[in-house]
Amino acid sequence: MLGYALRRIAGIVPVLLILLTVSFFVIRLAPGGPFAAGRALSGRARAELERVYGLDRPLAVQYGHYLLALAHGDLGPSYSMRDDTVAGLIAAGLPVSATLGAAALVLAVLSGVPLGVRAALRRGGALDRFLAAFAALTLALPSFVTGPLLALVFGLWLRWLPVAGWQPDTPRDLILPAVTLALPLSASIARLMRASLLEVLNASYIRTARARGLGRARVLWHHALRPALVPVVSYLGPAATYLVTGSLVVETVFQLPGTGRYLVEGAIDRDYTLVMGMVLVYGTLTLLANLAADLLHAWLDPRVRHEPL
Amino acid sequence: MSSIRPDGERPGAAPGAPEALLRIEALRVRFAGSGGAAPVDGLTLTVAPGECLGVVGESGAGKSLSFLAALGLAPEGAEVSGRVRLGPLDVLGCRERELDRIRGARVGFVFQDPMTSLTPHLTIGAQLAEPIARHCGLGRRAARERARALLEQVRLGDAARRMGQYPHELSGGMRQRVMIAIALACEPELLIADEPTTALDVTLQAQILALLAQFKRERRMALVLITHDFGAVAGVADRVAVMRAGRLIESGPVASVLKRPEDPYTRELLRAASEPPAPARAGGHASDASPAGAPVLSVSDLTVRFTHAAGLLRRRSFAALEAVSLTLSAGGSLGVVGESGCGKSTLTRAALRLIRAERGRVLWLGSDVSGLTARRLRGMRRELQLIFQDPLASLDPRLTVERLVGEPLEIHHGELAPDARRERVHAMLARVGLEAALYQRRAHELSGGQCQRVGIARAMVLEPRVLVCDEPLSALDVRAQRQIRLLLAGLRGERGTSLLFVSHDLSLVRHLCERALVLYLGRMVELGPTAALLDRPLHPYTRQLIDAIALPDPDVQPARLAKVSLGEPAAPLERPGGCAFRSRCPQATPLCAERAPPWVAAGADRWVACHHFREWADGMLPE
């Protein structure tokens, strides 16, 4: 198991390198540049700026320099926010975004799994029907609708929670954004859990377990739940991707100082270094989430553990 | 070893004892919403304490469902009515919690498919200790101790190590032993074995049945043996119940039902099971004596090695097939026989160039297949068709029967107009006995036998020179087996197709093949005319295979079963040096450990690899 994990972690590095390389060239293929026309800059000033940042050198040289700096942990200066380095921007924003994402994920799993189990055990019951409606609704409504809606109800009308904004060390500020982000995820997980548990309960080893007279609860907890969790765990990889893109909207709606906005702003401003920094951060997070999903899968199913790689 | 129960002594198993252990009356099972007939329709039968009741019938007769429903294990949506009594207890009236105190404690179950019947993520030890801890009130340590003892009783080798392994690390035969150990864990009064041997090879079938018979005898435990195999019933059962379409057709003592069946349906089933072998004949040719046609497919000195991970970085390899040679002549038929893991399937795959051989040559119509161009390889594959073991899994679920059979024509005879193609497809489907009403169905809407007919039609529609069958009958019940067997023999007779027939069951091979090759752990042990091989086996392994065949004769089968050795067969990875068979051979000598026996001629068209065949088969050989 340890060997498997180490090999998988080592496998992340080349994937990240490919991701960075592709992003590096693709963003430069896009028309314009950080100091392109449309800004109030004279031709000479622009040329001077490009010289300072090394943007007048051949692409291959720029790429080499970037990698070299990266190897020393230097993500470079931001071209659009000229007082800040990319690393500084990420260090300021990432804790907020990461807390939001993690809170949403935990919320989604803790609500989705029990909901799905319950719905599967009482198929056609009230909760099962509620789940169908809940899933349809939360999956259909985009978070820029559910977010303001929740803010309206819990923030303005009930005045239980802050409408928006963020002060350090106030977890209350994160509740509404996290719930907004978690809702569709929770519905997806619940539906997956329900379908997968129903399938497992039909497996012949469940019949064998019942034939041993183990009792309903033990059959469910000991024999059915772990295999039924496998599809849910496999979904955690894609779920992480959803959290990354979803956080972008939710952070804007609730005015959180996270990193989500840099992804959009950086791309619009052709802030090459900022975009690369975001690609690095989100790429690493996505790969780690997929790795975690695979390791969990191996823990759930011994057959995966014993597969030769 | 059997403990005394708190409720005192159990009544004896005298035939006709008034007190039944299990009494099923007018049992009906229906599925809500399905308008059709009830799958179990008014079944009444009893099982006396300590007796073995064999329940026989074709697939779909409601055998398994009856007993599952009787103990509250019917699938969801089943409506169960009637009366079921276990001793004085009204089972159908029990609540789930009360049933859980019966199941696993007083009644044990063994199910058909050992591959899917154990929980994949729990170790063998954990699954075995579970019912012991629950029903016998033993602590963790004591339960595990008892579990290990049980594994030894079911003759699972290396029990201590097996306790910590997961089901996927065990072979099918080992898993079935584990299933039996679990079922026996709490010394049940009644064991319900639902097709316990169907998924296993002949040797394992005999061993598992012998094991069940031994436990029944030693523990005076009642046994319900649900099967389609009259041979199994003849060896173990005291009484037989024959079921058809959810009803009891006939029941009585095993000797009278099997010897003097009253119902015509029972007679038909028995005929299918005990048909004397017709001598297999080459297609079109009149006699066996005439020299066979030119070789179509010949394999010489074929060796296939597989490598597998042994630890983190180490890899080990073993020979799945070593120095195997065979020749299939035009219009001829050859059976390849051996138990699971003997390399039979590897042999067919290597011969078709589906996997790479390490050494050896495969000649197709005289030219080496390893040198064939892609085009000629395609030609070979057109003329060499395959039929697989699992009829359902080998058919594309999205295609209709008509498309399935038409597809090979589309690929290999693109020049055919759609009408002409359809005509050929329909003619072929009619020949294999499928009605026109089935042509638009998909595989999951067909029975196992019908699926296998589609598989045969799909292979034969190209009019191949050679038909390769990999265990085509083992997933079918007796009646379907007989029908498919006759169909294959008929088609071969009409078209002169050569047949390479792979099976674990010598009794099937004798119906279809003139010659047979016996493999043991990847090596040839004996080759010869099938009839001669069965009459006078030269190799002790061939003898054991013949002894393992379950005969549907209650006079002889129990005694034959009692002689079966109960231990596990050798695994391909643990092949002993010298003669590979020596670990199981009753005649083994020091010479057998020293070196592998040579492959020598032993009379007219007979070959064998045994140092001692002359001595032990003495008097059986023609001078």
Q: In this structure, what CATH number is given to the domain that contains residue B368?
A: 3.40.50.300
Residues B318 and B257 reside in one and the same domain: no
Residues within 8 A of B (CB atoms), A 232-261 only: none
Residue B488, pLDDT above cutoff 60: yes
Alpha carbon distance A169, B461 (integer Å): 76
Q: Identify all chain A residues contacting B130, using CB atoms and an 8 Å cutoff.
A: 212, 214, 218, 222
Question: Domain count of chain B?
Answer: 2
Distance CA B234, CA A259 (A): 76
Q: Do B250 and B333 sit in the same domain of this protein?
A: no
Chain A residues 158-217 within an 8 A CB cutoff of chain B? 202-205, 207-216
The structure's pTM equals 0.80
Is B346 part of a structural domain of the chain? yes
- Rg for chain A, CA atoms, rounded: 24
**What is residue B200's predicted lDDT score, i.e. its pLDDT?**
82
Question: B299 and B232: one domain?
Answer: no
pLDDT of residue B209: 92
Residue B306 shares a structural domain with residue B250: no
Task: Please state, in angstroms and as integers, the Cα–Cα distance from residue B103 to each residue in B126, B191, B211, B222, following that order.
Answer: 18, 10, 21, 14
- B240 touches B54 (CB < 8 A): yes
**Highest mean pLDDT: which of A77-91, A106-120, B306-320, B478-492?**
A106-120
The tokens describing B395, both together, are 């058919």
With an 8 Å Cβ cutoff, are B102 and A213 in contact? yes
Same domain, B164 and B254: yes
pLDDT value at residue B6: 41
Residue with more model confidence, B319 or B621? B319
Instruction: Find tokens 């055990």 and name the residue.
Output: A121
Question: Does pLDDT of B15 surpass 60?
Answer: no
Q: Is the pLDDT of residue B283 over 70?
A: no
Tens digit of each residue's pLDDT (9 = 90 or more) over B190-240: 999 998 988 788 888 898 899 999 999 998 999 999 998 898 999 999 999
Task: State the CB neighbour count (10 A cutoff) for residue B121.
Answer: 20
Is B492 within a domain? yes
Q: Residue B580 falls within a domain, yes or no?
A: no
Contact A69, A86 (CB under 8 A): no
Q: Which of A1, A122, A204, A212 to mutate to test the interface with B (most CBs of B within 10 A)?
A: A212
Which domain covers residue B215, as residue numbers?
A: 22-274
Q: Is residue B478 part of a domain?
A: yes
Is residue B314 less than 8 Å (CB to CB) from chain A? no
Segment 284-303 of chain A within 8 Å of chain B by CB: 300-303
Q: Is B462 contained in some domain?
A: yes
Which pLDDT score, from 0 to 100, does residue B282 have? 44
Residue B289: CB partners within 8 Å, gap ≥ 6? Answer: none
pLDDT, averaged across chain B:
85
**B452 lies in a domain?**
yes
Residue B520: which H helix or E strand, with range? strand B515-520
Whether the CB-CB separation of B391 and B465 falls below 8 Å is answered with no
Q: Residue B445 has what DSSP assignment?
A: G
State percent of chain A over pLDDT 90: 25
- Cβ-count burial of A307 within 10 angstroms (0-12 exposed, 13-18 middle, 19+ buried)? exposed
- Please compute the mean of the pLDDT values over residues B47-69 and round it to a whole number: 91
What total of structural domains would you count in chain A? 1
Of B467, B492, B513, which marks where a domain is finished?
A: B513
Please name the amino acid found at residue B293: G
Does residue B11 lie in a domain region? no
pLDDT band at B312 (very low <50, low <70, confident <90, very high): low
Range of the domain at A271: 95-305
A28, part of any domain: no
Q: Model confidence over A129-143: pLDDT tens digits?
A: 999 998 888 888 888
pLDDT beneath 70, residues of chain A: 1, 36-41, 306-309
Under an 8 A CB cutoff, do A223 and B134 touch?
no
pLDDT digits (tens, 9 = 90+) for B383-436: 999 888 777 888 898 999 999 999 999 988 888 899 999 999 999 999 888 888
Provide the CATH number for the domain around residue A141.
Answer: 1.10.3720.10
Q: Which range among B161-170, B247-256, B614-623 has the greatest average pLDDT?
A: B247-256
Q: SS3 letters for chain A?
A: CHHHHHHHHHHHHHHHHHHHHHHHHHHHHCCCCCCCCCCCCCHHHHHHHHHHCCCCCCHHHHHHHHHHHHHCCCCCECCCCCCCEHHHHHHHHHHHHHHHHHHHHHHHHHHHHHHHHHHHHCCCCHHHHHHHHHHHHHHHCCHHHHHHHHHHHHHHHCCCCCCCCCCCCCCHHHHHHHHHHHHHHHHHHHHHHHHHHHHHHCCHHHHHHHHCCCCHHHHHHHHHHHHHHHHHHHHHHHHHHHHHHHHHHHHHHCCCCCCHHHHHHHHHCCCHHHHHHHHHHHHHHHHHHHHHHHHHHHHHCHHHHCCCC
Question: Chain B partners of A7 at a C-beta cutoff of 8 Å?
Answer: none
Shared domain for B300 and B183, answered yes or no, is no
Asked if B548 and B203 count as a contact pair (C-beta separation under 8 A), the reply is yes
> What gap in Å lies between CA B523 and CA B539, rounded to an integer?
13
In a domain, A151, yes or no: yes
Whether residue A58 lies within 8 A of chain B, CB to CB, comes out as no
Q: Give the pLDDT band of residue B618 (cuts 50, 70, 90).
A: low
10 Å Cβ neighbour count for A299? 15
Instruction: Tell me, yes or no, whether B418 lies in a domain.
Output: yes
With CB atoms and an 8 Å threshold, state whether A302 touches B121: yes
Nearest-Cα residue of chain A relative to residue B183 = A212
- How far is A94 from B526, CA to CA, in rounded Å? 72
Give A34-43's long-range contacts (Cβ < 8 A, gap of 24+): A34/A79, A34/A80, A34/A269, A34/A270, A34/A271, A34/A272, A35/A79, A36/A270
